[in-house]
Amino acid sequence: MDKAQLELYTDYLLSTFGYATATGLSAMVNGQVSHDQVTRFLSGEEYTSKDLWQEVKPTVRQVEREDAILIFDDTVQEKPYTDENEVMCWHYDHSQGRAVQGFNLLNCLYQVGDMSIPVAFELIRKPLEYCDLKTRKRKRASLVTKNELMRSMLDVCMNNKLKFRFVLFDIWFSSKENMFYIKETLKKDFVCALKTNRLAAVSEEDYQNNRFTSIEELPWQEETLFTGWLKDVPFPVLIVRQVFTNKDGSTGILYLACSDTTVTREFILTTYQKRWPIEVFHKSLKQNAALGKAPVRRVVTQNNHVFAALYAFFKLECLKIKRRLNHFALRAHLYLKAIRVAFDELQALKAA
């Protein structure tokens, strides 16, 4: 890895307020780095989650704690005008409720105190092409599921001797395989969201006799905490319900499961709230680290730009701790400086 090029490119991603192009970077440094050098950096070796870990590892070792958490979630960056390939293709975007063309990024975020550090990532690839017999349209498919990728990333985190207590994830990753793997194989605990139709037994006897009820039909009261057995999950979990009011005034209900049966309802709710930083992480990646603003068209260059955006986020996170300003305040500071320089240059041109 060309570390100097990586540092320059990621600084450029944090500095630019438009598209991140090789020509733009070269112009920014007055041609000291050529367009071709930037292109070669992006199209060279393919950087992976392992490379990201090597960059963030020294900082992780300084701040890691036994009570830290791992947060898993994915995000879709829409790129409707980029040519399709195994990375840049159609993915279902849960936030929009429809399929969009772009790339799908699965992330593992290490949350310790106020610091959020990306420690693993995978771009969802769909190399298999087939024809849908119903619609007669060409589609793509992955060789592995996102749940399988999540378990693989957990393996990597364990092999890296990462200290953490809980794994947090939403309903899209709440599969029985993930639950079993975290609790029984890794000997760790999880807090996750559940769909309302998830089946559970309220006693071990009911579980053994295959008597299940959907969790929304359990006899809920305001502070209820059930010890239950989810269908096909061979160990008890705590199940809680949280009722809240949405911004539009509607009522929302959140069901959570926790594999540590010694904790309280309040602890489960407080712990799951710590999943919020990954939403901020995805927003900052897109708005502050130019995740979707590079006109890269090949799989290798697309992958390497995503890697660079993740590393740029990490650099911004370190600045956040150092300057005690959030990512958006830091970028606003840079933007104001840029406006002032542009204004002064305009006045100089007018006076010439």
Residues 181-218: tens digit of each pLDDT: 999 999 999 999 999 999 999 999 999 999 999 999 99
Q: How far apart are CA 229 and CA 176, in angstroms?
A: 11
Q: How far apart are CA 182 and CA 326, in angstroms?
A: 32
**In the predicted model, is pLDDT for residue 223 greater than 90?**
no
Confidence at residue 90, expressed as pLDDT on a 0 to 100 scale: 92
Confidence at residue 249, expressed as pLDDT on a 0 to 100 scale: 82
**In the predicted model, is pLDDT for residue 241 greater than 90?**
yes
Q: Chain-wide mean pLDDT for the chain?
A: 95
Q: What is the pLDDT of residues 300-344, one digit of tens each?
A: 999 999 999 999 999 999 999 999 999 999 999 999 999 999 999
Q: What is the pLDDT of residues 51-93, one digit of tens each?
A: 999 999 999 999 999 999 999 999 999 999 999 999 999 999 9
* Antiparallel, parallel or unpaired: β 166-169 and 189-194: parallel
**In the predicted model, is pLDDT for residue 157 greater than 90?**
yes
**In the predicted model, is pLDDT for residue 246 greater than 90?**
no
Q: How far apart are CA 169 and CA 182, in angstroms?
A: 12
Q: How far apart are CA 324 and CA 318, in angstroms?
A: 10
Q: What is the H or E stretch that residue 200 is in?
A: strand 199-201
Q: Classify the C-alpha dihedral 112-169-213-237 as positive or negative.
A: negative
3-state secondary structure of 311: helix
Q: What is the pLDDT of residues 128-142, one digit of tens each?
A: 999 988 888 889 999
Q: What is the pLDDT of residues 109-119, one digit of tens each?
A: 999 999 999 99
Mean pLDDT of 222-246: 92
The model scores a pTM over 0.75: yes
Other Cβ atoms less than 10 A from the Cβ of 119: the count is 23
Residues of the chain with pLDDT > 70, as a percent, come to 100
Confidence at residue 272, expressed as pLDDT on a 0 to 100 scale: 97
- Cβ proximity of 306 and 123 under 8 Å: yes
- Cβ proximity of 232 and 219 under 8 Å: no
Beta-carbon contacts of residue 341 (< 8 Å; ≥ 6 apart):
none
Q: How far apart are CA 311 and CA 52, in angstroms?
A: 7
